[in-house]
């Protein structure tokens, strides 16, 4: 019997196993998401980035970022359940700029957290990352809505901590919108700084899948294309950490 033909899902997994990362274009990503649910509320989901709260932890160093945060738990085959609101914490080993502090961010709105689009994204992540970790029975999931603002007198910094790891197992970075910006190139590195690859998320649903235990990642600064107009980069970041 001939082996079953390889699927894009298989290719994603092979890339993460072999290279530690994978870029997925928006149209391909849309197709995979729709295998896990609906994106029927996408306009409202994307619009929710217009109601993010300032990141007060960065304000003191003059960097402009807005965000909301939520925590979920999922079994490898079971329901994905939102957890009580809690701080986001990273050690200094992973975040030299803001490590070793509990950072409390405004929560993701209930309608967004329980909506079709986010449920679909989380379902895709659970099923895909579980194929890479077949012994894992449960996941701690954190998600972040980020808006990076670029101004005429100051670049926007998607990763102000520099090239880094998040201290989790797997990461999805999903582009929601780019408005009037240039650059914002994602770079992937080994621990010694060697660059393994780079790509720029430019279209809605363009995605990066990252094996955070193996590689480091960063994003170059964004600048306004037209300095007289508002400029921003909106992404959803979802992290998965093994709990059992």
Q: pLDDT tens string for the chain (244 positions)? A: 444 444 567 788 888 999 999 999 999 999 999 999 999 999 999 999 999 998 876 655 445 789 999 999 999 887 899 999 999 665 455 455 554 577 788 999 999 999 999 999 999 999 999 999 999 999 999 999 999 999 888 888 877 778 888 889 999 999 999 999 999 999 999 999 999 999 999 999 999 999 999 999 999 999 999 999 999 999 999 999 999 6
What is the per-residue pLDDT for 158? 79
Instruction: Please tell me the distance from the alpha carbon of residue 83 to that of residue 80, in angstroms, as a whole number.
Output: 10
- Angle (CA) 163-149-155 rounded to 5° is 60
> Is 174 a member of any domain?
yes
Instruction: Please tell me the distance from the alpha carbon of residue 128 to that of residue 174, in angstroms, as a whole number.
Output: 15
> Is 203 a member of any domain?
yes
Residue span of the structural domain in which 199 resides: 8-242
What is the per-residue pLDDT for 242? 94
CATH number of domain containing 140: 2.60.120.620
Contact call for residues 112 and 118 (beta carbons, < 8 A): yes
Radius of gyration of the chain (CA): 17
Phi and psi of 74, rounded to 5°? -145, 140
> Is 2 a member of any domain?
no
What is the per-residue pLDDT for 159? 76
> Is 163 a member of any domain?
yes
Q: Could you tell me the maximum CA-CA distance found in the chain, to the nearest angstrom?
A: 63
Phi and psi based region of residue 173 (left: phi greater than 0; alpha: psi -120 to 50; beta: remaining) = beta
Place of tokens 């950490």: 241
What is the per-residue pLDDT for 98? 55
What is the per-residue pLDDT for 194? 96
Q: Whose CA is closest to 42, among 130, 119, 108?
A: 119
Instruction: Please tell me the distance from the alpha carbon of residue 157 to that of residue 149, in angstroms, as a whole number.
Output: 8
> Is 27 a member of any domain?
yes
What is the per-residue pLDDT for 152? 86
What is the per-residue pLDDT for 90? 54
Rounded to two decimals, the pTM is: 0.91
Instruction: Please tell me the distance from the alpha carbon of residue 159 to that of residue 55, in angstroms, as a whole number.
Output: 13
> Is 1 a member of any domain?
no
Instruction: Please tell me the distance from the alpha carbon of residue 105 to that of residue 148, in angstroms, as a whole number.
Output: 15
> Is 213 a member of any domain?
yes
Count of domains in the chain?
1
> Is 198 a member of any domain?
yes
What is the per-residue pLDDT for 8? 60
């Amino acid at each position: 019997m001939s082996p079953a033909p390889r699927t894009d899902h298989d290719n994603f997994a092979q890339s993460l196993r072999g290279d530690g990362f994978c870029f997925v274009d928006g149209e391909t990503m849309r197709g995979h998401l729709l295998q896990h649910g609906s994106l029927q509320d996408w306009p409202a989901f994307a619009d929710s980035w217009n109601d993010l709260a300032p990141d007060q932890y960065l304000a003191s160093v003059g960097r402009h970022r807005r965000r909301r945060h939520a925590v979920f738990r999922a079994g490898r085959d079971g329901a994905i359940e939102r957890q009580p609101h809690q701080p986001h914490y990273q050690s200094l080993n992973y975040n030299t700029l803001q490590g070793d502090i509990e950072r409390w961010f405004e929560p993701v709105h209930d309608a967004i957290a329980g909506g079709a689009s986010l449920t679909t994204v989380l379902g895709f992540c659970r099923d895909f990352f579980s194929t890479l970790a077949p012994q894992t029975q449960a996941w701690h999931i954190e998600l972040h809505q980020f808006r990076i603002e670029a101004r005429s007198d100051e670049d926007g910094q998607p990763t102000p901590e520099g090239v880094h790891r998040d201290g989790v197992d797997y990461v999805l970075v999903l582009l929601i919108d780019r408005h009037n910006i240039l650059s914002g190139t994602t770079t992937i590195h080994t621990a010694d700084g060697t660059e393994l690859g780079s790509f720029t998320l430019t279209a809605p649903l363009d995605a990066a899948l990252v094996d955070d235990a193996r590689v480091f990642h960063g994003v170059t600064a964004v600048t306004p294309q037209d300095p007289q107009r508002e400029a921003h980069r909106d992404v959803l970041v979802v992290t998965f950490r093994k709990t059992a």
